[in-house]
Structure 1
Amino acid sequence: MEKVLIYDTTLRDGTQGEGISLSVEDKLKIALRLDQFGVHYIEGGWPGSNPKDMEFFQKAKELPLTTSKITAFGSTRRHGVTADQDENLQRLLESGVSTVTIFGKTWDFQVTHALNTTLEENLDMIFESVQFLKSHGLEVIFDAEHFFDGYKANPAYALKTLRKAEEGGADWIVLCDTNGGTLPHEIETIVVAVKQTLTTPIGVHCHNDSECAVANTLAAVRAGARQVQGTMNGYGERCGNANLVSVIPNLQVKLGYTCVKKEQLGSLTSLSRYIHEIANVVPPNNQPFVGMSAFAHKGGMHVSAVLKSPETYEHLAPERVGNTRRVLVSELSGQSNLLYKAQELNIDLDKSNPACKRIIQNIKEMEHEGYQYEGAEASFELLLREGLGEVIEAFTIEFFNILVEKTANWQIKTMAVVKVRVFDEVVLEAAEGNGPVNAFDNALRKALESFYPEIKHMHLSDYKVRVLDGGGATAAKVKVLIESSNGKDKWSTVGVSTNIIEASWQALSDSFRYFLLKQKGNMVECVKAEVK
């Protein structure tokens, strides 16, 4: 299979995206993971633009890389300055890398209006800059900035700029859709024309302003490009860069090119989520290939078909990119959804069991009230086990009271009082907190820990409130989602009410119930918390 080299610019072009900021340590961690994944080039930054990027290049020398080449980015020499006197080019040499990427103008409009120089001088800038870097023994990648716009406006001049880079000794010439406005059929036609003109290998660098960056990249490869530039998760300026998370499996699985090893492709989902986490970005559920919803099935007919033959509603096996199949349970569910989820949870349930229909009907009624179990699978498992009679009471909340007080010096204090029955014993506890949910959590813990000391190992890790009926104003029904963790696993629970405190204790109680269920294994004894 023919090879396509992957050039990752997450650490440079990706950080130009709104809300994306990476420290030097962040960039080093990501670079190491990209190398483990099998990326061929990692663009670390622009050493001539800021001290942070230069620090990265110095520290990157210590990384135990086995596959990737760290690449420094810069531009052609400035107008009126010789290459050997240009500070930007000198910083590239000082970065200590063996591969550099420089961009140059290829659109005549950009030359005259942005650089404010002549077309001939721009050609000299390209040739002399590439030649200077090559004379220092570097691999040089020339990024032909605005090439596709330039070619459409003045193809003769745009091709001249590429030939100048080739004459200077460039190892790669990368065609850039810098404004992201070119369409796939145009990309393919233009790349074919360039291939007939040059002998130097061609790459492509696409932006996503027309939602075509991935499609444009694939079109360029089909036309002869053998290096693709992009970012993980599509980070980048404006609408982002070509998303390598989508480009790589499309090239390798769908088009038959070799980008990374098979086992490396299987780590794509974990890589994508790792970079989202480092960048402090919430992963989009609907992100192709790697998103939580990428292989999620909700409609009953779909699930029935997928259980028989996954390819009926999946374009590839999720395991190939390190993802997993998920079946959702909702008001659209049928028996197939329920049976699949039961099997997934190691619950013995047969479709002939009359409990199936009762549970499905109960789910639909609950969702009509505003409950949603797609993002609260711990609450769903409790609902399913209760429907099968597997859950008995291990504690009952008989009473709770939450007090919020504003003191004379404008401080807000919150206290919760909880009365809990654990089998034949009644416990009354009070606790303060930094809010009503935290106070209730603290009081409930105090009441239960003497009976269930394992509760000490769990904690609330996320709390979200969504208004379900905006027209109800302050009387609107709300949905509360709580995420809890024991330091290793995470689980989510849901509560719904017109009273935010009630919705919160529903979700919080479910969290305790689920945790104790897992601690007890398959034993019947777990928790059912209800206010009597």
Structure 2
Amino acid sequence: MLLDELGVDYIEGGWPGSNPKDAEFFKAIKNYSLNHAKIAAFGMTKRKGVSAKDDTNLLAILNADVGVAVVVGKSWILHVREVLRVSPEDNLDMVYDNVEYLKDHGLGVIFDAEHFYQGFREDPDYALRVVKTAEEAGADVIVLADTNGAMLPMDVYEITSKVVERVRVRVGVHMHNDSGCAVANTLMGVLAGARHVQGTINGIGERTGNADLIQVLPNLVLKMGFKALKGVESLRRMREVSHFVYEAAGLQPNPYQPYVGDYAFSHKAGLHVDGVSKITKAYEHIDPELVGNARRFVVSELAGTSNLLIYLKDLGISVGKDDPRLRRALERIKAMENEGYSFDLAPASAILVVLRELGLAKDFLSVDYWKVFGEHNLNVAVVKVNGELSVAEGVGPVHAVDLAIRNVASRIYPELNSVRLTDYRVVLPGEVKSTESVVRVLMEFTDGRRVWKTMGVSTSIIAASVKALLDGLNYILIINNNEIGKSINNK
């Protein structure tokens, strides 16, 4: 439904003739009302020596009950002779018969010319005959595929331009990323005259993936001036769509992904932060809000006081740039990073360092003692929180400690009942500059309104977890404290 809401023209639902799962998709999609997108079923040209009406692959497309068929055919003479093992003329007949048969049954047809660019390099006349044959049979769109991802942008532009000159129907491009050029090749194909783009959300696909539509679409609309989907309105949902697909696929979002990644508009170096705070376009190629992202300032060993001032400003705290307490906080942050902390991943822990140096951070919760007993999958934690003993049983040692701390914390501060742990990660061993290896524990929290991340570092996973948990709970209690928003004198 998200793709339909974005304004995607075609959603290729799979290959119904190849497996039961894809066939089930076409049954299930009937239960959804789409306002714009057309569902397409994929298939290949009929088998040698079998008529179109008897080919099970084509019948599966018809049985999928869709309005559009995507049919892939051979356009590289190497594949025709060595893979299909048919004559060049027989291959042309197969292409024509497939397209004509599906058109006669009322379907729109997109013809994917497999390995087209490689085929054109070896035998341009034959590659062009294949796509012209599909056009003559009634194909609505001719798609040129770089199936093994070998092409470079200049090759794509040159070859696509020649095809656009020869073909009357709409030309499309389908790029794989084996050479790391799928997005660039797609853009060059459009520049050469292609007006139909195939790709996947986040570039997820076979081998090294396909062209990432999350990158292609903003480039087309914002950088090249083309109309795509619903324009800027659709682009504002790029990050939302990207994360939804990652979650549905069981994958972690790529923080370095252009446009939508957590680090796409993150500024670490003090020089950059100072420049962005004065004029954003000095270090940002677009406004991050155009693609549903946000500007982030990272606190790290490369940070300057400008980085800290940005965070403090968001909290309503006014501090002079030359305040010596800021300098001391920055030195402490850099020393902690040398010990193994990575505050670019856990900015809330860095903010606590600054607030403590400014005298604004009261630790509402403290742990004086903890001990975990484990035997036969039974884990019991004994923790002394704010001078009070608490005992809890958990499915693991960290879970047991978490419950024991929260038993006391949530009773003293009921607002913590709304705080949930949404992510927990252990990085082992930590990359540190000392001789001893440490464990980093990263925790992500939410109270339904905010999201914040903290980190604990220790040679013990449990000890690191306790540090990260305490930082996470203390952070939100401090932020919610009315005193935190008051400006302070800087002397």
Q: State whether TM-score is above 0.5.
A: yes
In 2, the alpha carbon distance for the partners of 1:508 and 1:170 equals 60
Q: Summarize deviations over 1:87-131 as a string: whole Å, max 9, x none.
A: 111111121111111011011110111111111110000011111
Deviation, structure 1 residue 521: 4.9
User: Is 1:419 paired with 2:388?
Assistant: no
1:443 is aligned to 404
SS in 1 for 2:252: coil
SS in 1 for 2:393: strand
SS in 1 for 2:411: coil
Deviation, structure 1 residue 519: 4.5
Q: Summarize deviations over 1:405-436 as a string: whole Å, max 9, x none.
A: x3xxxx14332222233xxxx42222222332
SS in 2 for 1:45: coil
Amino acid at match of 2:86: T
In 1, the alpha carbon distance for the partners of 2:141 and 2:101 equals 16
In 2, the alpha carbon distance for the partners of 1:453 and 1:242 equals 48
Match for 2:220 among 248, 251, 258?
251
Deviation, structure 1 residue 58: 2.3
In 2, the alpha carbon distance for the partners of 1:345 and 1:80 equals 73
Match for 1:141 among 97, 100, 110?
110
In 1, the alpha carbon distance for the partners of 2:29 and 2:453 equals 39
SS in 2 for 1:143: strand
1:464 is aligned to 425
Unaligned stretches of 5+ in structure 2? Answer: 486-491
2:267 is aligned to 297
Q: Summarize deviations over 1:42-89 as a string: whole Å, max 9, x none.
A: 101111112222222223233221121111111111110111221111
1:322 is aligned to 292
2:240 is aligned to 270
Q: In the alignment, is the contact (CA less than 8 A) between 2:175 and 2:185 conserved in 1? A: yes
Deviation, structure 1 residue 516: 2.4
In 1, the alpha carbon distance for the partners of 2:307 and 2:433 equals 33
> TM-score, normalization: structure 1?
0.87
Structure 1 segment 98-497 matched on structure 2, within 5 A: 98-261=67-230, 262-404=232-374, 406=375, 411-421=376-386, 426-466=387-427, 467-468=429-430, 476-486=437-447, 489-497=450-458
In 2, the alpha carbon distance for the partners of 1:68 and 1:150 equals 31
Change (3 A) 1:344 1:112: same
User: Is 1:512 paired with 2:477?
Assistant: no
Amino acid at match of 1:210: S
Please, which moves more after superposition, 97-106 or 455-464? 455-464
SS in 2 for 1:283: coil
In 2, the alpha carbon distance for the partners of 1:58 and 1:68 equals 16
Q: Summarize deviations over 1:153-205 as a string: whole Å, max 9, x none.
A: 11111111111101101111110100110111111111111122221211111
Please, which moves more after superposition, 273-282 or 497-506? 497-506
1:10 is aligned to none
Amino acid at match of 2:111: F
Aligned residues: 484
In 1, the alpha carbon distance for the partners of 2:4 and 2:482 equals 40
User: Is 1:39 paired with 2:8?
Assistant: yes
Q: In the alignment, is the contact (CA less than 8 A) between 2:317 and 2:484 conserved in 1? A: no
Change (3 A) 1:134 1:395: closer
In 1, the alpha carbon distance for the partners of 2:157 and 2:226 equals 17
In 1, the alpha carbon distance for the partners of 2:241 and 2:182 equals 20
In 1, the alpha carbon distance for the partners of 2:284 and 2:409 equals 45
Match for 1:97 among 40, 57, 66?
66
In 2, the alpha carbon distance for the partners of 1:449 and 1:170 equals 65
Percent identity over the alignment?
46
Change (3 A) 1:469 1:394: closer
Please, which moves more after superposition, 277-286 or 61-70? 61-70
> TM-score, normalization: structure 2?
0.94
Q: Where do 4+ consecutive residues of structure 1 move more than 6 Å?
A: 470-473
1:78 is aligned to 47
Deviation, structure 1 residue 306: 1.1
In 2, the alpha carbon distance for the partners of 1:221 and 1:248 equals 11
Deviation, structure 1 residue 351: 1.5
Q: Summarize deviations over 1:421-459 as a string: whole Å, max 9, x none.
A: 3xxxx4222222233222221222223333223333334
Q: In the alignment, is the contact (CA less than 8 A) between 2:365 and 2:474 conserved in 1? A: no
In 2, the alpha carbon distance for the partners of 1:450 and 1:293 equals 37
SS in 2 for 1:449: helix
Q: In the alignment, is the contact (CA less than 8 A) between 2:381 and 2:400 conserved in 1? A: yes
Root mean square deviation, CA, Å? 2.0
Q: In the alignment, is the contact (CA less than 8 A) between 2:339 and 2:432 conserved in 1? A: no
In 1, the alpha carbon distance for the partners of 2:160 and 2:240 equals 33
Change (3 A) 1:200 1:329: same
In 1, the alpha carbon distance for the partners of 2:323 and 2:338 equals 24
SS in 1 for 2:166: coil
SS in 1 for 2:16: coil
In 2, the alpha carbon distance for the partners of 1:397 and 1:185 equals 62
In 1, the alpha carbon distance for the partners of 2:431 and 2:285 equals 37
Deviation, structure 1 residue 210: 0.4
Amino acid at match of 1:137: G
Unaligned stretches of 5+ in structure 1? Answer: 1-31, 525-532
Change (3 A) 1:143 1:522: farther
Change (3 A) 1:488 1:334: closer
Amino acid at match of 1:136: H
Deviation, structure 1 residue 219: 0.9
Amino acid at match of 2:425: K
Amino acid at match of 2:368: E
In 2, the alpha carbon distance for the partners of 1:73 and 1:159 equals 22
